Amino acid sequence: MTELALPPALIMVLGAFFIPAENGRGRKRLLLGLPLATLVLVWLVPEGASLRLPFLGVELNPVHATAEGRLFATIFAIMAFAGGLYALPRASRRELVAAYVYAGSAIGVTFAGDLITLFIFWELMAVGSTAVIIAADTEAARRAAFRYLLVHLLGGVLLMAGIIGHWVSSGSLAVEAMRPESFATALILIGLLVNAGAPPFSAWIADAYPEASPSGSVFLSAFTTKTAVFALLVMFPGTELLIWVGLYMVFYGILYALLENDMRRILAYSIVNQVGFMVCAIGIGTELALNGAAAHAFAHIIYKALLLMSAGGVLLMTGKRKCTDLGGLFQTMPRTAMHGIIGALAISAFPFTSGFVTKSLETAAASHEGLLVVWLLLLAASAGVFLHAGIKFPWFVFFQKDSGLRPPEPPVEMRRAMALFSFLCIAIGLFPAPLYAILPHPVDYQPYTVEHVVSQLQLLLFAGFAFFVLLGQMKRTLTISLDFDWFYRRFLRELGGEFAVRTAAARQRLEDRAYARARRFVANLYAHHGPHGILARTWPTGSMVLWVALMLGCTLLLYVL
């Protein structure tokens, strides 16, 4: 099987650099062909196949095919295809190259069989995603990209330190299940959680993603946090700490999304919320829970991208991103509104959508394990999701009081990408069996029971009723929500400025002392070698001959001895 174990990631990563050389139809064929070719190769690599490469005294395994890796690589390739289609009308060449390197690196992580390969693709993802943000070519995007890179470099350092420590202590570099019982494995876990958007670094998602271009935000929503979910699922299943980390993320995302006025920041905080469900399920660790986390990640990439495609279309055609500036857009953007509604229903786990047949695996796992508190909190969070993403986003963008804006629909390629993902949201919801068939563990679960459908509808109807009763409180104003990123955006900068002021005097004294010593050295040098120095004086010829004779005599004496 080894001869068939070709790295699927190479098609995307290397093919990305041919994009600038193509124009028109050639570029379109390349953008759509690369993900499709990658998807084919993902399924051609036999499960269990591997590729061994010696490197600096260790053996790397850049291709290790597993059920989990194939599932995530499949949705990453589908996402790259739809993202490329959506980006066709407006994305710059820089953004497209960065996005495809980013997507290919995520696929590389899913096939990594050793921690070194995983780390290399992990860091390549950080570079690619940073470049995607910068490609928006605004000052806000450049600042956000710098902060984004700092956070991910920190996570990368922690991950690499943990990998080295784990290698030294265990002698193994295999990507396998482990426990955070040693300092090294705890560092690996923390490094993965940074990319997942776990506390206290959750704010980097809402800080950076909304500053990218409309197509850039779509790409960013899919890969970084989901590769972290994949790595946690493979390496730390059943780690109880993740249950509580996930629950924190769930309610953190809901709270900040409800407070937010920017439509893309609402959806960015919603990413944290949804990833929290997955992290919690990974912490539960049963086969049902792990299937739930994997299925939820698969479906989430689709409906979250669909929501951001809808929001990106609105931003592109109106130039506005705040809910207070929007409203009534369904009149001239009915297709964009329809796709946004389908995404909103899917993220809310409405029956007959993808969210209903995937997220319910996670709540069922909590119920089966007797985790009553966790189950109740997940149910409450499901209502919160409907409030902030299921109703708030489409209502304030498309249906609230008419803003007077009359934008047309976005370009046809963007509408086709939205139509593709809308179809998948409904198709997976109606026919979940194909998705269940590729999950990591055998599935014995029936989502469409009378009890489940009725209880979910009751939950959503109650949340919808609460939203409209509290509509006055739901309306946002032009405020700023402070988060932990305030520390490295403002506090640390001010602290650094204050430190610079306080140390300026000491620095000046050190510079004065160094300058004075340099002047004394030059003065002494001038005193001896200057035109009036001792060594610059003229000497009589006889005296010079005498000194030469003495030196020759000393040399002869030393030679004889």
Residue 330 is given by DSSP the state G
**Which contiguous run of DSSP H or E holds residue 52?**
strand 50-55
Measured distance between the N- and C-terminal CA atoms of the chain, rounded to whole angstroms: 78
pLDDT in tens, 337-375: 999 999 999 999 999 999 999 999 999 999 999 899 999
**Which contiguous run of DSSP H or E holds residue 13?**
helix 9-15
Contact at 8 Å (CB) between 10 and 104? yes
Nearest to 219 by CA among 301, 287, 318: 301
Confidence band, pLDDT 50/70/90 cuts, at residue 126: very high
Arithmetic mean of pLDDT, 394-417: 89
Contact at 8 Å (CB) between 62 and 51? yes
Residue 534: per-residue pLDDT: 63
Confidence band, pLDDT 50/70/90 cuts, at residue 2: very low
SS3 138: coil
Rounded to whole angstroms, the Cα distance separating 45 from 63 reads 9
Nearest to 315 by CA among 207, 221, 419, 407: 407
Contact at 8 Å (CB) between 290 and 282? yes
Neighbour tally for 368: CB within 10 Å: 13
**Which contiguous run of DSSP H or E holds residue 50?**
strand 50-55
Residue 533 is given by DSSP the state S
Q: Specify the pairing of strand 50-55 against strand 58-64.
A: antiparallel
Total-model pTM: 0.86
Rounded to whole angstroms, the Cα distance separating 214 from 260 reads 19
Residue predicted with more confidence, 533 or 310? 310
Residue 531: per-residue pLDDT: 67
Residue 474: per-residue pLDDT: 65
Mean pLDDT, the chain, as a whole number?
88
Residue predicted with more confidence, 240 or 23? 240
SS3 402: coil
- Return the minimum-mean-pLDDT range out of 39-53, 206-220, 492-506: 492-506
Rounded to whole angstroms, the Cα distance separating 251 from 257 reads 10
DSSP string over 53-83: EEETTEEEEEEE--HHHHHHHHHHHHHHHHH
Neighbour tally for 522: CB within 10 Å: 10
Arithmetic mean of pLDDT, 39-56: 83
Confidence band, pLDDT 50/70/90 cuts, at residue 1: very low
Read off the tokens for 522: 């030059």
Residue 3: per-residue pLDDT: 46
Contact at 8 Å (CB) between 392 and 265? no
Read off the tokens for 65: 């095919």
Task: Give the sign of the dihedral formed by CA 537, CA 538, CA 543, CA 548.
Answer: positive
Query: Is it the case that residue 83 has pLDDT exceeding 80?
Result: yes
Residue predicted with more confidence, 126 or 259? 126
Give the highest mean pLDDT range of 51-60, 383-392, 498-507: 383-392
Arithmetic mean of pLDDT, 31-35: 94
Rounded to whole angstroms, the Cα distance separating 284 from 558 reads 86
C-alpha 322: how far from chain center: 23
Give domain limits for the chain: 1-234, 237-477, 489-560
Confidence band, pLDDT 50/70/90 cuts, at residue 96: very high
Query: Is it the case that residue 517 has pLDDT exceeding 60?
Result: yes
Read off the tokens for 546: 């005498």
Query: Is it the case that residue 4 has pLDDT exceeding 60?
Result: no
Arithmetic mean of pLDDT, 408-426: 94
Arithmetic mean of pLDDT, 28-56: 87
Does residue 442 come out as left (phi exceeding 0), alpha (psi in the -120 to 50 range) or beta? beta
Query: Is it the case that residue 395 has pLDDT exceeding 50?
Result: yes
Residue predicted with more confidence, 293 or 468? 293
Q: Could you give the dihedral angle defined by the CA atoms of residues 329, 270, 222 and 145, in that order, rounded to the nearest 10 degrees?
A: 90
Arithmetic mean of pLDDT, 219-224: 93
Query: Is it the case that residue 55 has pLDDT exceeding 90?
Result: no
Query: Is it the case that residue 530 has pLDDT exceeding 70?
Result: no
Cis peptide before 7 (omega within 30 of 0): no
Rounded to whole angstroms, the Cα distance separating 58 from 40 reads 30
- What share of the chain in percent tops pLDDT 70? 94
Amino acid at residue number 335: R
- Which residue do the tokens 């951001």 mark? 308
Give the highest mean pLDDT range of 76-85, 312-321, 449-458: 76-85
